[in-house]
Amino acid sequence: MENGRTKVIACATVIEEMLPLMPADLAYEVLDFGLHLVPGSLKARLQEAIDAACAEEYDTVILGYGLCSMAVVGLETRTCTVVIPRVDDCIACFLGSRDAYTAQNKKEPGTYYLTKGWIEVSDTILDEYNRTVTKYGEERAERIMRVMLHNYKRLVYIDTGTENQSYYRQYARNVAQKFNLRFEEVKGSDDLIYRTLFGPWNGDFVVARPGKTVQYTDFKTDATSTNNLNAFSLSLPKRKEDNAE
């Protein structure tokens, strides 16, 4: 166990799943999901947030991100240790592991995923369709969406176990029906998000020590630290699986 001050910097979709697990005194910052649209802008904003955390003398920064179109590659840790789940994007975080994500992709590569977080931040294909209708009209919007979704066959709603799932599930069903996608629901897992917050930070995580630069190869090897943090909570919160016993 390491001692020190920790801060979480997370995407608006990921923080939705982190907050139920996080201790009340754990500092966090939420970044706009729209930054994903321009990976260079996301990288710049993440670096600013890391630099600010280091200036505030935080020892560890936990990123609620994956590779995210290479946005984390090139980030400099400065005086902090930076921890990142070793995944391509947040879908693996919601499913509980990279292996679970890979299994879903093998089952149906043409899959569009929805969670409570995505619906909350209004970044679904339905939101995109509505924006396109406003800009180009309904007829052209229909054509654009047909092209965009040409390779998609299935919409998967990931039940992450947070509150009001029935509302978000029905929203996802409506989206699937609107765009003629086969609807499926899978049970998510908070395992990876839990370990992102509390460790152990094993081969499923990139742990970049102070003065290091995050490399693409960090996400393709098992060369990482196995250190745990837990500095902000000596009594860990129970996970949903534990509460179900």
- Encode pLDDT of 21-72 as tens digits: 999 999 999 998 878 777 889 999 999 999 999 999 999 999 999 999 899 9
Q: Are 82 and 111 in the same domain? A: no
Euclidean distance between CA atoms 13 and 15, whole angstroms:
6
Residue 220 placed within a domain: yes
Residue 16 placed within a domain: yes
Residue 151 placed within a domain: yes
Structure tokens at 84: 């990142």
pTM for this structure? 0.84
Residue 40 placed within a domain: yes
For residues 163-173, average pLDDT: 90
Residue found by looking up tokens 């995505």 in the block: 118
Helices 125-136 & 138-148, crossing angle to 10 degrees? 140
* Residue span of the structural domain in which 123 resides: 98-187
Residue 242 placed within a domain: no
pLDDT, tens digit, 9 for 90 and up, residues 192-242: 999 999 999 999 999 999 999 999 999 985 443 333 333 333 344 555 555
Residue 128 placed within a domain: yes
Domain count, the chain: 2
Euclidean distance between CA atoms 23 and 3, whole angstroms:
16
pLDDT of residue 33: 82
Residue 240 placed within a domain: no
pLDDT, tens digit, 9 for 90 and up, residues 95-138: 999 999 999 999 999 999 999 888 887 678 888 888 899 999 99
Q: Are 10 and 84 in the same domain? A: yes
pLDDT of residue 86: 95
Q: Are 106 and 182 in the same domain? A: yes
Handedness of CA 177, 34, 104, 185 (dihedral sign): negative
Sheet hosting strand 27-31, strand order edge to edge: 27-31, 6-11, 60-64, 81-85, 205-208
